[in-house]
Structure 1
Amino acid sequence: MSDKKITPFISPEDDLPQITFKAVVLGFILSAILAGANAYLGLKVGMTVSASIPAAVISMAVLKLFKESNILENNIVQTAASAGESLAAGVIFTLPALILLKYWLDFPFMETAAIAMFGGILGVLFTIPLRRALIVESDLQFPEGVATGEVLKAGTEGGAGVKTIIQAGLAAAAFKLSQTGLKIFASSVGGSVKAGKSIFGMGADLSVALLAVGYIVGLNIAVLIFAGGLISWLFGIPIYMAVSSPEEISAIVGAAEGYDAALAIWSQKIRYLGVGAMVVGGVWALISLAKPLVDGVKSSMAAVKELKRGGGGNIPRTEMDTPINIVGMGIIGLAIPIFIVFMYVIDIEHLAVSSGAYWGAITFGVVFSLFAGFLFSSVAGYMAGLVGSSNNPISGVTIATVLATSLCLLAILGSQVDFAADMEKATTAAAAAIIVGAMIACAAALAGDNLQDLKAGQLVGATPYKQQIMQVVGVVAAALVIAPILSLLFNAYGLGGVFPREGMNPEEMLTAPQATLMQSVAEGVFARNLEWSMIIIGGLIAVAIIIMDEILKRKGSEFRTPVLAVAVGIYLPVELSVPIFLGGMIAWGAAKVVRSRAVAKGDNPEEAETNAERKGLLFSSGLITGEALIGIILAIPFALFESTDALRIMPEGLGWLTSLLGAGAAVCFMIWLYKVAVKKD
């Protein structure tokens, strides 16, 4: 076996302190904070962004206050902190569906924490035997892992990045406070045009966090997300309205008009195109990765055998993983608490099936969680290496998981219960499918993030097993805080059309797009009213996109069309796609200007572009962190006063003014982001 030669920043012979008391405490705290911030962002827009870089910068700033600190200690902190962000993604994509199903009335602490914790630890264990194959011996880039490694290296020379993140964070927090709290700036602008029976709607969310998301993912992904939005809103909604009867349309939109009517059509019908696209995209990812996955497992096992034959004496510190026997025992051991969680959360009385069928369903859930969890963790890890943690196919594989689980449970329980005739039992069965999906989603989310962190660790010279320990620490920290945070957000804003009390403002609601899809898919399978026609059309759209991507791949094109990015755009409201697209355009424009300037001066254009990207990345990270954190803070007074108008100072009825002010401020942030990226060093 020949390893790819990478010279780490810290030599394997230099074993600097890594897991220190201050690193564990700081990693634990940052994991909890970033879990909350990403929970808010994910529930709002259906996307999360890797927290490794802001965590690394914050760690460097804090640890510099101590007499002794080092780059490996900083890396340990960001490893734990980013685990919290990833766990939040797995949780918020699934468990809010239980609220939407009315199976839960809030987020119970023990159940939520247990599902998150056991699923997250599974994700850590699943990726340990894949580290060598996917990181050491493959050509995968792991873009966010490489970027984190570079930020950590740069941190040894100074903390200029901290100032950038703080400035952006404070500005974004002030803007978000003025939008959601004080109501000075509008949160979105939009309108529609009617042509015959059809409505063409378009809008833009004035969120600087979404602008930052677009900058981070880049033009290619941003264009595809926007294209997905156009598929739904420029084609899907108008075509559906044109071919449907007035009675069908009226039953969906009610008294709504204009953009609100288009939104109702999208919510109840067109978004299922996204379900079909995500299912096909998830299956395609599994097919594409079958050979690399098998090869990865084989090479990992071979590495373990080499270790045993050599006695471990010649294994460098930078190649020491958690022993495979501990990994195996950990996975098998987790089957017991997972079984208990499923038994405790899934109510046999509501299902009203025989004890044999009930225990069979619970056993199936545990076995499927372990088997599908490893498979999808491998997919998520591989995709993270290709496109980064922020774009890994957690939504796609989770939807595929929920659909497959629902169909299997229907086969197991359907002979005893007519779910189509009893919605209470259908809801309970759908909840069971969601809970299994949540366990797998948490594992897959952690897998992509863990491998990014291990890639950063490879570059700086970290010890893998120490990082793996800290990943578990980060999982535990996030699992302990995620239930209270979700409960706070739910009670302050509402989720996916479900509100904890009457009189709440639907415009402030967190859309929870993935969880809404999970609920619709699971419930639709058991109630036998799933929008199969829309799902099939969405699947066919995905097939066309896959064919296009394969053609581009064979032509060697730099622009590619990964199907899951388009699927995200299809099931997001179009106004969320617009700022993402604009952020991608800013990233592309800034890179082009910086490269041209470097060529004209005779400098290295690649180096100049990398420096510009890093500055924009740090600024974007600050925008996301600031908006997300103020969103959580605002949830406190909103929940206490049971109103999102608790801090309002702008009188109602001035929508034109708030829209004008909001759009103007958003443009200022765009210009600021661009100038930060192109600014000369």
Structure 2
Amino acid sequence: MNSQPVATQPVAQLTARAVILSVILAVILAAANAYLGLFAGLTIATAIPAAVVSMGVLRLLGGGTILENNIVQTGASAGSSIAAGVIFTIPALVILGYWQDFRYSWVLAIAGLGGLLGVLFSVPLRRSMIVEDPLPFPEGKAAAEVLKAGENPGPGLKILGLSGAIGAFVKLAAESGLRMIPDAAAGGTYVGKFIAYLGTNLSPALLGVGYIVGLNVGIVVLSGSILSWHIAIPLYNAFFLDGNTALAAQLAGKDAVTTAFAIWSTQVRYLGVGTMLIGGVWTLFSLRKSLASGIRSGLAAARKGSGGVVAETERDLPMKWMLVALVAFVVPLALLYQAIVSNWGVSIPMTIIMIVAGFLFVSVSGYLAGLVGSSNNPVSGITIATILFASLVLVALMGRDSQIGAVAAIMIGAVVCCAAAVGGDNLQDLKAGYLVGATPWKQQVMLAIGAFSCALIMAPVLNLLATAYGIGAPTAEHPNPLAAPQATLMASVAKGMFGGHLPWTMIGIGAVIGAVVIALDEWLKSRKSHFRVPVLAAAIGIYLPLELMVPIFLGGLIAHFVERSHGIDPHNEAERDRVHRPGTLFSAGLITGEALMGIAIAIPIVVSERADVLALPASLHFNQWVGLVVLALIGWLLYRVATKRHAS
């Protein structure tokens, strides 16, 4: 069992300045993660950058305690979890055509109430997952170490500032800004009837994502993309395209790259849907015993603690308050569902599904966050399972031809997704608090404040991005939109369950691929291999374009070389966290700087109604080789920062 310090006298925690700073950071990081998630289908945990910023700011304000800094990073980390819950699901309502834009009150209700439910549902799990039978919670442990070593936050702030400026400048120079360098370097050609395609995105943010998730995940996601782009697409073009007469006629005479993307978007990406579906079901099945045991012990501990004196470092939110809050949050959601379907016989089952699935999947999310960290937490797989189950029930209640069925399923999935994302993040933060002697209920209150604060700004951010860049499928106005891969997937699955047409053959093949990946991962597990093949990571690689996965792999490769340069055991988690801290901060800065600049660029685009409003003269536009050189230089700088001995 992990030991923890116990304070001998009250130490400042939930102070006014800590709450204000936490909310400011949460809102900024939520906006940045919303952009990143719509762009690349990934979000990153933000606790460590928030902790470093907090230590620097509170030092300028006269110094802060370790527990104040812990409160700041707790609330700020809601920025990634609320953003993930929202962008994985709510854009599906626009993609389905139910909304023309993002309605403020609805987004606030879904994100805010879903996030608050995530906090409530995770409270009874804290004791079992953190105290009695502790899980690793890698990012929580890393955040605790950063807080403990916080005497000198200056170097960390310099790293964040430098990399943030680099990420922002490259985004400004890219196609949506000054148009000095392209967004990607790619090319393809026909080899007989086969298609050969290579490409990489030139985003520094994706390089940073790869460094944070590591080489193992980088290899898995790239392998998934290789399966799609170097095996499935060439085979489909050579042997099956002629059988799809409509698609073949549409692609007659088109170049190789256009053909490859058309085959991927209409057929091959659904291999990833099937893989993700089977992965979500397997995740639930494989965790059934651990979750049942953890929930039982957590509820028992909560009942026992309510009747006696409990140490400050063990005090959760009181169970009776939680039950009152649960009712207060569920009633408006039931009214929201009633407003959609106008049938209490449907809206009440929708509410029940949401409550049951919410608690179950918060447990799943917490368990997975404890094992692999919040950045690798497969919340999208959890949400797909929710939408599938909800769709089956709604089909029975409303019929397969219901015009509103797909929307109703997405609404359930959106609340559950927000709850699951926040719940896993909450337990990660509570792990850090446990290691530094914090009071759990104060962290739980702070995360609730942070989550609701982020929900307040999500609709304006989404509307800004949708107007400037477009979301989902390419259009004449937005030929290169933000892909919103998870939301597109959710919309496809929900629509397919209610009278839509999906390539079920491809989905079935994808399910078989998922089963093979699961079997391979179980075999590696039985051999106690440190290299694993998480099925949902493979599914993301299959589902997303190859060019997005290449820089993620390269970032993971840099992380691997950093470990080798330090001569550490890559399986020693504590040593890895310490060594990677400068590189993690640099990567977080790249991501945040690029994402915030993407949002800033959107403002003049929307105001002027011109996508090229910031573009420089054509004579200052450079080709993709310049972009490759820039990305290589950033990768080299990331390696240099991460391998400085004094920085570690």
Q: Secondary structure at the match of 1:193?
A: strand
1:519: how far off? Answer: 0.8
Partner in structure 1 of residue 639 of structure 2: 674
Say which of 78, 89, 96 aligns to 1:101.
96
Say which of 201, 209, 212 aligns to 2:208.
212
Partner in structure 1 of residue 412 of structure 2: 436
Q: Secondary structure at the match of 1:535?
A: helix
Partner in structure 2 of residue 267 of structure 1: 265
Which region of structure 1 is more displaced relative to structure 2, 396-405 or 84-93? 396-405
Partner in structure 1 of residue 586 of structure 2: 619
Q: Do residues 639 (structure 1) and 625 (structure 2) align? A: no
Partner in structure 2 of residue 41 of structure 1: 36
Compared CA separation, residues 571 and 372, structure 1 to 2 (3 A): same
Partner in structure 1 of residue 80 of structure 2: 85
Say which of 119, 135, 139 aligns to 2:114.
119
Aligned length: 643
Poorly superposed stretches of 4+, deviation over 6 Å:
605-608
Q: Is the 8 A contact 2:125 2:299 kept in 1?
A: no
Counterpart of 2:139, as a letter, is E
Q: Is the 8 A contact 1:638 1:645 kept in 2?
A: yes
Q: Do residues 514 (structure 1) and 481 (structure 2) align? A: no
Partner in structure 2 of residue 404 of structure 1: 389
Partner in structure 1 of residue 515 of structure 2: 543
Partner in structure 2 of residue 575 of structure 1: 547
Q: In the TM superposition, what are the counterparts of 1:190-269 in structure 2 within 5 Å?
A: 190-246=186-242, 247-251=245-249, 253=251, 256-269=254-267
Q: Is the 8 A contact 2:188 2:197 kept in 1?
A: yes
**1:274-298 C-alpha deviation (Å, 9 max, x unpaired):** 1111111111111111111111112
Cα distance in structure 2, aligned partners of 1:540 and 1:514: 21
Cα distance in structure 1, aligned partners of 2:347 and 2:576: 53
1:304: how far off? Answer: 2.4
Q: Secondary structure at the match of 1:244?
A: helix
Q: In the TM superposition, what are the counterparts of 1:325-336 in structure 2 within 5 Å?
A: 325-336=320-331
Which region of structure 1 is more displaced relative to structure 2, 139-148 or 549-558? 139-148
Quote the RMSD (CA, aligned, Å): 2.0
Q: In the TM superposition, what are the counterparts of 1:250-399 in structure 2 within 5 Å?
A: 250-251=248-249, 253=251, 256-309=254-307, 311-312=308-309, 315-344=310-339, 346=340, 348=342, 358-399=343-384
Counterpart of 2:472, as a letter, is G
TM-score, normalised relative to structure 2? 0.96
Cα distance in structure 2, aligned partners of 1:665 and 1:565: 28
Cα distance in structure 1, aligned partners of 2:63 and 2:130: 30
Cα distance in structure 1, aligned partners of 2:462 and 2:124: 33
1:12: how far off? Answer: 3.4
Cα distance in structure 1, aligned partners of 2:2 and 2:142: 19
Counterpart of 1:373, as a letter, is G
Q: In the TM superposition, what are the counterparts of 1:562-601 in structure 2 within 5 Å?
A: 562-595=534-567
Cα distance in structure 2, aligned partners of 1:68 and 1:162: 16
Cα distance in structure 2, aligned partners of 1:57 and 1:517: 36
Which region of structure 1 is more displaced relative to structure 2, 240-249 or 448-457? 240-249
Cα distance in structure 2, aligned partners of 1:66 and 1:255: 65
Q: In the TM superposition, what are the counterparts of 1:461-476 in structure 2 within 5 Å?
A: 461-476=437-452
Q: Is the 8 A contact 1:278 1:400 kept in 2?
A: no
1:302: how far off? Answer: 2.4
Compared CA separation, residues 261 and 468, structure 1 to 2 (3 A): same
Q: Secondary structure at the match of 1:57?
A: helix
Cα distance in structure 2, aligned partners of 1:522 and 1:610: 40
Q: Note the residue ranges of structure 1 that are not aligned, 5 or more in a row.
A: 349-357, 420-424, 600-604
1:325: how far off? Answer: 2.2
Q: Secondary structure at the match of 2:623?
A: helix
Cα distance in structure 2, aligned partners of 1:546 and 1:462: 38
Q: Is the 8 A contact 2:306 2:319 kept in 1?
A: no
Compared CA separation, residues 334 and 253, structure 1 to 2 (3 A): farther
Q: Is the 8 A contact 1:19 1:73 kept in 2?
A: yes
Q: Secondary structure at the match of 2:618?
A: coil
**1:593-651 C-alpha deviation (Å, 9 max, x unpaired):** 1117x99xxxxx98765433111111111111110110111110111111221111141
Cα distance in structure 1, aligned partners of 2:304 and 2:607: 60
Q: Is the 8 A contact 1:200 1:237 kept in 2?
A: no
1:505: how far off? Answer: 4.0
1:459: how far off? Answer: 1.3
Q: Is the 8 A contact 1:281 1:542 kept in 2?
A: yes
Counterpart of 1:7, as a letter, is Q
**1:385-423 C-alpha deviation (Å, 9 max, x unpaired):** 111101111111111211222222112111xxx62xxxx
1:531: how far off? Answer: 2.1
1:82: how far off? Answer: 0.9
Say which of 461, 469, 472 aligns to 1:493.
469
TM-score, normalised relative to structure 1? 0.91
Compared CA separation, residues 142 and 646, structure 1 to 2 (3 A): same
Q: How much identity, in percent, do the aligned residues show?
A: 48
Q: Secondary structure at the match of 1:155?
A: coil
Partner in structure 2 of residue 352 of structure 1: none
Q: Is the 8 A contact 1:13 1:317 kept in 2?
A: no
Cα distance in structure 2, aligned partners of 1:410 and 1:622: 45
Q: Secondary structure at the match of 1:665?
A: helix
